[in-house]
Structure 1
Amino acid sequence: MNILILGATGFIGSVVAARLVADGHVVTGLGRNPVRARLKQRAIEWRRADLSRMTKPADWDDILKDQHVVVNCAGALQDGLSDDLAATQAEAMLALYAAAKCSSRPLIVQISAGTAGAAGDLPFLATKRRADEALAASGLPYLILRPALVLGRNAHGGSALLRALAAFPLVLPLIHAESPVETLSVDDVAEAVSRAVSGGLPSKDIDLAANEVLTLADLVRLHRQWLGLPPARVFSLAPWLARPVTWFADLSGLLGWRSPLRSTAMTVMSEGVQSSKSGSRLAATSAAAALSANPSGVQDLWFARLYLLKPLVISGLSVFWLLSGLIPLLALEKTSAHFLPFMPEASATALTLATCLTDVVLGAAVLVRPLAKRALLGMLAVSLAYLAGASLLEPALWLDPLGVLVKVLPSILLTLVALATLDER
């Protein structure tokens, strides 16, 4: 069969795509930036597309041509600079259904979620529910799969946060430590999609979860054991203590960063992650079995330890560059005096203002996710230029008691660390 996968570069979508290729299907993967995926999974035909801009049936006509199945693995947690929930999870899907009815009427497999409960009215679940209801009423052949918390060899979002919390030194600080959580393996999702394509599932709306309910604390302890770290005591924190972190995480979302600590995730976790218990259900792999099937390596420990440090690194670099640009402005005449032996006073002042502005722009730009990589590369280039220029014009600064030039070296190293950890998937 010809199968189109939406969100094929994602945590779930990439595994589903690999499974369907192994089953012998011709798979087309859709993603916003499939360049790296094209290198990793060459058996898939990759097409670049942004669902948030595909909100009219005509946007789907060419993509749906000759497709027998469409698997929707795309989704987002919360609105922000990089995500538009209404467009991606609802309007694009309604346009897809309308286009599908005028084409080959493919089977639509929707990877959704449980949309009831305290978080049901949040945009994350409300848009999914709108798409689910429209699909059920569309007259198209369909199947809706509602997985619980998905675990796998890789990690993204909530599963990445679990690893980061598990690697926390000395204690395990948790909000909602006793919240119930059901899990399954990402391979279970791929298996369910494979069965759906072959017509082997008994219902059109199915919950996917293992036959166990863990607490969040239990799940973090399992991940700590999986990472090979000694047991640590869980330190339960009051929910109000998370509000400053959630506020900053929501702010980062407005700048394009997809933190799993945003308010939507906290609201969902406040009541736990459980299946509906009222509909059809497929049993799945337990959390312990899912983790033990993929033994951790040192790269997993590095990832877990660096995950929560990454936003601190980015924020630290931003503060460093903003201050390095703003502080000299408080004593502009004194700062520009360094250039006076080599140029007129007006030129020295202009050059000082230019370097200060450059520092401020880089410090602000690194906070904006779409600009972060270019800002980090700019930081490296400017740092090296500063070192080279100062070494030629005023080499005595290397021996300055305050380490004016020496301090640039750890900044360069921190910038390299930020570049190395910048990718999200």
Structure 2
Amino acid sequence: MNVLVLGGYGLIGDAVVGRLLRDGHHVCGLGRDVGDAQRRRPAVCWIAADMSLLLAAEDWLPVVAGMDAVVNAAGALQDGPRDRLDAVHWRSVLALVAACEQAGIRRFVQISAVGADPSSKNPFFSTKAEGDRAVASSSLEWTILRPGLVIAPAAYGGTALLRALAAFPGFVPAVMSRQPIQTVSVVDVTEAVSRAVAGSLPPRLVVDLVEANARPLADVLSAFRAWLGLSPAKVVPMPTILGRLAGAVADGLGMLGWRSPLRSAALAALGRGVTGNAAPWNEISGHPLQPLEATLADTPAHVQERWFARLWLLKPVILACLSMFWLVSGIIGLIRQEEAADILVSHGVPGNFADMSVLAGSAADILVGAAAVVRPFARRALQAMIAITLFYLAAATLLVPELWLAPLGPLVKTIPTLCLVLVALAVLDER
């Protein structure tokens, strides 16, 4: 079959694409930024498109032409500069369903979420439910799958946060540590999608995909810590106010393009618990979905997982430190412009040129420091930090080489900073 997978390079979408390829299907994947996906999965036909802009059936007809089935694995956590929940979860799905009906597509698989409810005050769950309603109201052979907390070999978003918290040194911090969680292996999710695409599930099915028993978030974190091979540590409940503060900060970072799993929508979802009804799927399949222990045992952790878990929480710290270092450096240069210019003048640089150089250098420092915390500009800002640092080192070596031997080591200390920029570049990718 020819199958279109929306969100085909996401946590669930990528696993679905891999499973459908192994099943022998011809797969097309759709997403906003497909460059990396094209390199990783060249066997897939990739379509670069923003679902939030495809709001009429006519917009979708060229995309779904020739397809036999559609799997919607796309989604967003919270409204932001790049994400509009109403458009992605509902309005675009409504248009897509209409296009599928017009194009004669047989099957539609909607990957939703446990807790999807049109009356929910959380826009994530309410818009997901509206999308589910659009699918369920269609004439297609549809299946709506609602997974719990999906555990996969890949990790970003909430699953990356779990790993990072589990690897916290000394203890494991957790907000709402007693909230119930039901997980599901991404392998089990892809099995359900495979069966739905093949038509081997009951028609017009809405079903939760969760392990049989719920467990507290604290137990999930402890299981992840053991999986990482780290020594046991106590899970320490954090005050709810601390979680709300972190959510407010993450919401602000979301406006700068960072997609933190700590945003207020995620905390609200955790507040209600991540639970569903395992019984319907167990009856259909004849066996329960595997529990968290079996999911983790199927993908044993190695040193790369420990590196990732430990670096994940350090990433924002690194970026914040670099941003502050460059901002403060630039501001000090402006405040003490005359002193900085005098140093250049004392080494034969003309006065006007020295003043202009100090102003230009301070402005450049402030610019890259501010740009480093804006996600679309972060990579170029970090690269600019490297270029500026190397220029400073070269200029200082030519004009004031004795600074290399100065007691406080002003030039020597730039080398570790340069290395920190390289680390920031190495961990900048989010998925």
Superposition pairs of residues 382-401 of structure 1, within 5 angstroms? 382-401=388-407
Q: Provide the rounded CA distance (Å) in 2 between the counterparts of 1:50 and 1:153.
A: 26
Query: Could you tell which deviates more after superposition, 331-340 or 147-156?
Result: 331-340
Question: What residue number does 2:168 align with?
Answer: 168
Q: Provide the rounded CA distance (Å) in 2 between the counterparts of 1:91 and 1:325.
A: 46
Q: Provide the rounded CA distance (Å) in 2 between the counterparts of 1:213 and 1:393.
A: 67
TM-superposed CA distance for 1:286, in Å, is: 0.8
Question: What residue number does 2:221 align with?
Answer: 220
TM-score scaled by length of structure 2: 0.95
Sequence identity of aligned pairs in percent?
Answer: 46
Which of 383, 390, 397 is residue 377 of structure 1 equivalent to?
383
Q: Provide the rounded CA distance (Å) in 1 between the counterparts of 2:187 and 2:63.
A: 27
TM-superposed CA distance for 1:232, in Å, is: 0.8
Question: What residue number does 2:211 align with?
Answer: 210
TM-superposed CA distance for 1:290, in Å, is: 0.3
Question: What residue number does 2:150 align with?
Answer: 150
Which of 269, 278, 291 is residue 286 of structure 1 equivalent to?
291
Question: What residue number does 1:25 align with?
Answer: 25
Q: Residue 118 of structure 1 contacts residue 268 of structure 1 at CA under 8 Å; is this kept in 2?
A: no
Q: Provide the rounded CA distance (Å) in 1 between the counterparts of 2:277 and 2:364.
A: 54
Q: Residue 117 of structure 2 contacts residue 126 of structure 2 at CA under 8 Å; is this kept in 1?
A: no
SS at match of 1:8: coil
Question: What residue number does 2:131 align with?
Answer: 131
Question: What residue number does 1:261 align with?
Answer: 262
Q: Provide the rounded CA distance (Å) in 2 between the counterparts of 1:133 and 1:118.
A: 9
Q: Which residue type is aligned with residue 3 of structure 2?
A: I
Q: Residue 66 of structure 1 contacts residue 104 of structure 1 at CA under 8 Å; is this kept in 2?
A: no
Question: What residue number does 1:232 align with?
Answer: 233
TM-superposed CA distance for 1:97, in Å, is: 1.7
Which of 295, 298, 309 is residue 304 of structure 1 equivalent to?
309
TM-superposed CA distance for 1:207, in Å, is: 0.6
Query: Could you tell which deviates more after superposition, 262-271 or 242-251?
Result: 242-251
TM-superposed CA distance for 1:378, in Å, is: 0.9
TM-score scaled by length of structure 1: 0.96
Closer, same or farther: CA 401–86 of 1 in aligned 2, 3 Å: farther
Superposition pairs of residues 71-220 of structure 1, within 5 angstroms? 71-116=71-116, 120-202=120-202, 203-220=204-221
Q: Which residue type is aligned with residue 337 of structure 1?
A: D
Q: Which residue type is aligned with residue 418 of structure 2?
A: I
RMSD of Structure 2 on Structure 1 (CA)? 1.7
Q: Provide the rounded CA distance (Å) in 2 between the counterparts of 1:280 and 1:231.
A: 34
Residues 17-56 of structure 1: CA deviation (Å, up to 9, x unaligned) = 0000100100001122222222222221112122222223
1:363 is the counterpart of 2:364? no
Q: Residue 77 of structure 1 contacts residue 265 of structure 1 at CA under 8 Å; is this kept in 2?
A: yes
Q: Which residue type is aligned with residue 297 of structure 1?
A: H
Closer, same or farther: CA 119–186 of 1 in aligned 2, 3 Å: farther
TM-superposed CA distance for 1:168, in Å, is: 0.9
SS at match of 1:102: helix
Question: What residue number does 1:318 align with?
Answer: 323
Q: Residue 118 of structure 2 contacts residue 130 of structure 2 at CA under 8 Å; is this kept in 1?
A: no
Q: Provide the rounded CA distance (Å) in 2 between the counterparts of 1:181 and 1:397.
A: 58
Q: Provide the rounded CA distance (Å) in 2 between the counterparts of 1:141 and 1:355.
A: 63
Q: Which residue type is aligned with residue 321 of structure 1?
A: W
TM-superposed CA distance for 1:199, in Å, is: 1.1
Q: Residue 211 of structure 2 contacts residue 278 of structure 2 at CA under 8 Å; is this kept in 1?
A: no
Q: Residue 15 of structure 1 contacts residue 186 of structure 1 at CA under 8 Å; is this kept in 2?
A: yes
Query: Could you tell which deviates more after superposition, 341-350 or 358-367?
Result: 341-350
Q: Provide the rounded CA distance (Å) in 2 between the counterparts of 1:318 and 1:114.
A: 39
1:273 is the counterpart of 2:274? yes
Question: What residue number does 1:37 align with?
Answer: 37
Closer, same or farther: CA 250–128 of 1 in aligned 2, 3 Å: same
SS at match of 1:235: strand
Question: What residue number does 1:70 align with?
Answer: 70
The alignment covers a number of residue pairs equal to 425
Q: Provide the rounded CA distance (Å) in 2 between the counterparts of 1:53 and 1:372.
A: 26
Residues 124-166 of structure 1: CA deviation (Å, up to 9, x unaligned) = 1121111111121132321110000000111121111111111
Query: Could you tell which deviates more after superposition, 189-198 or 282-291?
Result: 282-291
Q: Residue 76 of structure 1 contacts residue 85 of structure 1 at CA under 8 Å; is this kept in 2?
A: yes
Query: Could you tell which deviates more after superposition, 249-258 or 52-61?
Result: 52-61
TM-superposed CA distance for 1:189, in Å, is: 0.6
Q: Provide the rounded CA distance (Å) in 1 between the counterparts of 2:424 and 2:378.
A: 9
Q: Which 5+ residue runs of structure 1 have no aligned equivalent?
A: none
TM-superposed CA distance for 1:210, in Å, is: 1.0
Q: Provide the rounded CA distance (Å) in 2 between the counterparts of 1:82 and 1:321.
A: 27
Q: Provide the rounded CA distance (Å) in 1 between the counterparts of 2:16 and 2:100.
A: 21
TM-superposed CA distance for 1:365, in Å, is: 0.7
SS at match of 2:213: coil
Closer, same or farther: CA 119–372 of 1 in aligned 2, 3 Å: farther
Question: What residue number does 1:244 align with?
Answer: 245
